[in-house]
Copies of this chain bind each other. A is one copy, B any other.
Amino acid sequence: MKHPVFLGIDIGGTNIKLGIVSSSGRVLARGLIPTLPGNTPWEEFSRIRQMLPFLSSAGGRIAGVGIGCAGLVDASRGILISSPNLPKWRNVPLRTIARRTFGVPAVVDNDASAAAYGEFIVGAGKGYSHFICITLGTGVGGGIIVDGAPVRGIKNFAGELGHMTIDREGPRCSCGNRGCLEAFIGTRGLLRSAREKLKKRNGRILGSKIPARSRKLTPRAITNAALSGDRVAAAVLEEAAAALGCGIASLVNIFNPEVVAIGGGVSGAFDFMKKRVEREVYERSYVAPSSRIVLTRAHLGNDASTVGAAMQASQASRE
């Protein structure tokens, strides 16, 4: 009999990532397909199943499926309630669809919660028991480990760290609120900040020569420009770092964690932002000066969510 492996699926608004993951959390094979948000969930899972032969060279028998999906996910019932990036998917029974599609048990979680779990088991939070992971991307999500267990809340909606208010009169967030952390450090927030600064200077991001209105103005372009010395881009990331540090300071006061890790698409900027984030956390947090906090970049990169979802499936298979 083949050894058991687990399929991790990370469903985002842009891409669906797949990972075949060993029971110890090692990624044996990866896949990526663009999300077709107009498709039904059944159609999307059928597309995912068609990818499996390409991933099976890794060997092993898929013993379970773990799904991380952007949005509000009711994990106990295995249902995606709603997702800002998949507006047509409402009250989708993802667990049932996955179980029927793959013929094995399935578990479902929010993508950022799954990523945090992955980092906790085999990444930046390994060996700690009080851990917070913030995932930066189009949206800003997160997951929290307290005393070695994930904080889920009564309906599994906990961990929406991007929607902490840090400036209650601040810019409008995609969630409808004002001044959420995401409104400053999510993709939209970063681009708004860059456009404002470029407009004032009537200029371009140096080096990359990207004008304010260009579709090439992306978080990655801003990060690259900042790393190659562009002042406007550096100022954008400085401001983002200050906002991130402010949010982390609140989380430190609320949770008194050992480690806070930053992951996700634009986390490449974290090395650039780290000092400013740290300064802000220690200046603002009541708790931090009395309790050393490790601030670090997450370890698993783009694998975090698939690994975490697969590890949840592995965990469920042992229960």
Write the residues of chain A forming the contact surface with B, with a CB cutoff of 8 angstroms. 72, 81-82, 129-130, 144, 146-147, 149, 151-161, 163-169, 175-179, 242-243, 246-247, 249-251, 253-258, 283-287, 290-291
Distance (whole angstroms) from the CB of A296 to the closest CB of chain B: 15
* A283-B177, A290-B82 given; A256·B165 CB < 8 A: no
- In the complex, are the beta carbons of A154 and B291 less than 8 A apart? yes
- In the complex, are the beta carbons of A152 and B256 less than 8 A apart? yes
Distance (whole angstroms) from the CB of A230 to the closest CB of chain B: 25
- In the complex, are the beta carbons of B164 and A250 less than 8 A apart? yes
A192 CA to B179 CA in the complex, in Å? Answer: 24
Cβ contacts under 8 Å, A251 to chain B: 254
- In the complex, are the beta carbons of A160 and B72 less than 8 A apart? no
Cβ contacts under 8 Å, A291 to chain B: 153-155, 157
- In the complex, are the beta carbons of A256 and B157 less than 8 A apart? yes
Cβ contacts under 8 Å, A286 to chain B: 72, 160, 163, 175-177
- In the complex, are the beta carbons of B287 and A256 less than 8 A apart? no
Most buried by B among A153, A242, A287: A153
Most buried by B among A146, A167, A168, A249: A168
- In the complex, are the beta carbons of B287 and A157 less than 8 A apart? yes
- In the complex, are the beta carbons of A249 and B177 less than 8 A apart? yes
| New A-B pairs, 11, CB < 8 Å, besides A72-B287, A165-B284, A168-B242 | A72-B290, A146-B151, A153-B257, A155-B256, A157-B290, A157-B291, A158-B255, A158-B256, A163-B250, A163-B285, A166-B168
* A166-B168, A177-B284, A286-B175 given; A130·B159 CB < 8 A: no
- In the complex, are the beta carbons of B246 and A153 less than 8 A apart? no
Contact of A168 among B72, B158, B246 (CB under 8 A): B246
- In the complex, are the beta carbons of B147 and A255 less than 8 A apart? no
A47 CA to B247 CA in the complex, in Å? Answer: 43
Most buried by B among A175, A249, A291: A291
- In the complex, are the beta carbons of A165 and B290 less than 8 A apart? no
Distance (whole angstroms) from the CB of A43 to the closest CB of chain B: 26
A42 CA to B251 CA in the complex, in Å? Answer: 35
A169 CA to B258 CA in the complex, in Å? Answer: 27
Most buried by B among A246, A250, A285: A250
* A169-B167, A285-B177, A287-B72 given; A156·B250 CB < 8 A: no
- In the complex, are the beta carbons of B255 and A151 less than 8 A apart? yes
Which 7 pairs across A and B sit closest by C-beta, in order of nearness? A153-B256, A160-B253, A157-B256, A158-B256, A175-B286, A164-B250, A163-B253
